[in-house]
Amino acid sequence: MALNTRSIILYNANVSNHAVLGPLTLVMKGENIPAKSAWTGSPAMPWVHK
């Protein structure tokens, strides 16, 4: 897992191996972040590279 600057993971959240969380990302309680995915935002949403 790569956790960028000021990202927060709340309790009961599951962040899988090789997931990437962008800067200022908030992973809500009970949320599941799958392996090999990238997420950003508050609350966390899939990171779409443009």
Tell me the per-residue pLDDT of 12-46, one tens digit each, with 9 for 90 and over. 999 999 999 999 999 999 999 999 999 999 999 99
What's the pLDDT score for residue 21?
Answer: 97
* Contact in structure between 7 and 23 (CB atoms under 8 Å): yes
| pTM for this entry | 0.87
For 2, 15, 33, the CA distances from 27, given in Å and listed in that order, are 13, 9, 8
